[in-house]
Amino acid sequence: MFGKEFPLPIGFLSKFLFIMMIPSFYVFTSLGDFFQSLSSSFLFTSLGYSPYVHIEQYSIFRTLGILFRNIILGLIITFPGFIYNYKIVQIPLKKSYWKMGFGVCIALVANTVGVVYFILPIFISRIHLHISEYYSVSMQLAIFPVLVMAAFIILPLIQRQAVSIASPFEIHDQNMREIMLLSELKIKREMRVAIILWVVICFVPSFVGLAYYIWRAYYFVGLFYIFTLNTDVYFDFIAVSIYGAIANLADIQITALSSVGNFYFVREIYRYLRKEVTRKRLMLVGLMATLYPLIIRMVFPSMFYYYYNVVIPLPFVFLAGLLVVKLHRPIIGLTDRIWREDEPRYWWDEEKKKEEEGVSTTPGTPYRYREDIVKVPLYYIIISRIKNLRKRNKD
């Protein structure tokens, strides 16, 4: 999924370090709070801004030890995501990997529970002096797996769909990595569009939850990110506060249930681009996916009561899906023309042939006739390229 520029291990590690440095929350009440919240990533846990960290002066060795601890914990939690990413680029493109992605999400949660209860105590003593640090790291460990799901499970699945619509169906028995090495296909464009769709489905709000009578707050809820607009009149010094946070493992029980319709809509987008469903069906599914959070709120009112009194759907995923359809460029079935090897011929042979066809010409430059042109399907050329690449790698 990283193309031919980056080997798989380097690509995985760069993505791992990127999500390690993503802040777990943002505070927009003041400029100072905002800059402090930028250090709230999992990598800087116990070093950056956190209301739970025990305040003390760390030496350079203590600081390096904390960074090492956080990286080790992050690698252990991300390990199922590494395996899934490796497998998804190695299997044939025609095979479905959605169910395995769901299974890896469950494995991530179980892995995180094991890390909190069995591995974290190895790094942090549970004595009274360090209990706040243990609590802080535990809270971050409830958030970090959500970023792993987004970057190592959902993103590869969407990019896999993008590769499937940018390549002929006849070569889908090849794996994703081999197909992405083919320069004849315009895969990079579809991959960039897929990243836009991924950002929208994971981090852009899909509905607004109003909890005015309970918390006097407005929640803009996405799959993995929640913005809160708080208008609490009981505190005069903060009339309005804006707070953004990555959803933790408890939150995604609600956000994932509300996003089921969006995932189905994404599936239908790529089915439509492969000519498997009609445009009317795509629009209907998109409309139902937009209204899905409201439908869930009406069907399960008790589940949402203590969270949101009113649910207002937002159509951002639907609009992003239409953008993907708009930016898609169909594959041309028959393209390249290959010339047969030129046979030596004299000018009088050319003249005689022209006279037989009733076309007047003069001796001059060689002329290629239409029957000398061979049209071949594009996937023949691509399959030949794949075989040559495999042979070259074996040699």
pLDDT of residue 370: 45
State the pLDDT confidence band at 348, using cuts at 50, 70 and 90. Answer: very low
> What whole-number distance in Å separates Cα of residue 240 and Cα of residue 27?
12
In this structure, of 181-185, 252-256, 299-303, the range with the lowest mean pLDDT score is 299-303
Q: Integer distance in angstroms from the first to the last C-alpha of the chain?
A: 24
Q: Which two tokens stand for residue 259?
A: 């996003």
For the chain, the farthest-separated pair of C-alpha atoms sits apart, in whole angstroms, at: 103
194-198, 226-230, 307-311, 353-357: which is most confident: 194-198
In this structure, of 6-10, 121-125, 196-200, 268-272, the range with the lowest mean pLDDT score is 6-10
Give 285's contacts (C-beta < 8 A, 6+ positions apart). 264, 265, 268
State the pLDDT confidence band at 240, using cuts at 50, 70 and 90. Answer: low
In this structure, of 29-38, 138-147, 275-284, 334-343, the range with the lowest mean pLDDT score is 334-343
Supply the DSSP symbol for 130. G
pLDDT of residue 169: 84
Average pLDDT of the segment spanning 233-243? 61
> What whole-number distance in Å separates Cα of residue 44 and Cα of residue 223?
24
Which is higher by pLDDT, 19 or 128? 19
Q: Which amino acid is at 244?
A: G
CB–CB of 82/154 below 8 Å?
no
State the pLDDT confidence band at 260, using cuts at 50, 70 and 90. Answer: very high
Tell me the sheet residues that pair with 175.
92
Output the pTM of the full model.
0.77
